[in-house]
Amino acid sequence: MRKAIIAGNWKMNKTPAEAAELVSELIPLVKDADCDVVVCVPAADFTVVGEAIKGTNIKLGAQNVHFAKSGAYTGELSADMLKACGVEYVVIGHSERRQYFGETDKTVNLRTLAAVEAGLTPIICVGEMKDEREAGYTDIIVEYQTLMALHGLTDEAIKAAVIAYEPVWAIGTGLTATDEQANETIGVIRKAIERKYGKDVADAVRIQYGGSMNPKNVKGLMAQPEIDGGLIGGASLKAPDFSQVVLYNK
Ligand code: 13P
């Protein structure tokens, strides 16, 4: 049995003061969660959030990581830096990074390797654009993105990794993949991992759904056998909403 994992992706939201307020509201609300709970916050919030969640069941996540150990990479953060800030999870290859910042499958792979090497758990995002789904390319796209991201990882590292299937057309749009669409595509991702790495690995890796997941649709999505959790954008910015998603089974 895979343990569910619900992660909030705050994106570029919340100053440290706002972050402290949100997380202090969240802590008591999610303390009885059965799933793993993660908040992926802007680097500016690592310290306040990290301090606030000490001793709680909430884990700290980042939203990106560079692949070099150190060096002349203005504006980037290394995996060791994240680790030293108490970060345990890191989102890699989010579609916003791919669309607006030129991330490629190659850099997603390098970032994943660096994260794993430093002992961070990657949350690797894959997903098709609207026109790609309409043209019938969803499976090819998600299989390719997934296998490219995992290239060079050990079986053990893949088992411990998290993949987030986020159809780009469902992000921040209020459109959600249907329960069946999400389940089917996540099944495609798992099958691709199985073909390359074997059933043992494919059965262990946790695959989330992301894209307008909220308190209303979480139950249906989480009832699907392939869906192991969620990566939540908008609904993670309000403690009552995020906690309802986290407590989807209560
Ligand atoms: P929304 O939940 O706002 O659609 O965002 C999803 C997402 O991109 C999480 O990484």
Handedness of CA 219, 220, 225, 227 (dihedral sign): negative
Residue % of the chain over a pLDDT of 90: 97
Give the domain range for residue 214.
5-246
Please give the pLDDT value at position 1: 84
Kindly indicate the confidence band of residue 172, based on its pLDDT and cuts at 50, 70 and 90.
Answer: confident
Domains held by the chain: number: 1
Q: Which letter does DSSP use for residue 235 in this model?
A: G
Expressed in angstroms and rounded, the spacing between residue 233 Cα and the centre of ligand 1 is 3
- List, for residues 88-98, the tens digit of each pLDDT value: 999 999 999 99
Closest by CA to 12, choosing from 163, 202, 186, 234, is: 234
Is 166's C-beta closer than 6 angstroms to any atom of ligand 1? yes
Q: Is 94 known to be catalytic?
A: yes
Angle at CA 233, nearest 5°, toward 212 and 120? 130
Closest by CA to 244, choosing from 205, 203, 216, is: 216
- E-assigned strand segments in the chain: 5-9, 36-40, 58-62, 89-92, 121-126, 162-165, 206-210, 229-232
- Predicted TM-score (pTM) of the model is 0.98
Q: Is 250 exposed, middle or buried (0-12, 13-18, 19+ CB in 10 A)?
A: exposed
Please give the average per-residue pLDDT across 13-42, as a whole number: 98
Is 93's C-beta closer than 6 angstroms to any atom of ligand 1? no
Residue % of the chain over a pLDDT of 70: 100
Contact in structure between 122 and 90 (CB atoms under 8 Å):
yes
Residue 11 pLDDT more than 90?
Answer: yes
CATH number at residue 177: 3.20.20.70
Residue 44 pLDDT more than 90?
Answer: yes
Is 212's C-beta closer than 6 angstroms to any atom of ligand 1? yes
Residue 175 pLDDT more than 90?
Answer: no
User: Alpha-carbon distance 73 to 5, whole Å?
Assistant: 32
Please give the average per-residue pLDDT across 137-145, as a whole number: 98
Please give the average per-residue pLDDT across 48-57, as a whole number: 98
Please give the pLDDT value at position 174: 83
- List, for residues 190-206, the tens digit of each pLDDT value: 999 999 999 999 999 99
From the CB of residue 194, how many other CB atoms can be counted at a distance below 10 Å?
Answer: 15
Please give the pLDDT value at position 181: 96
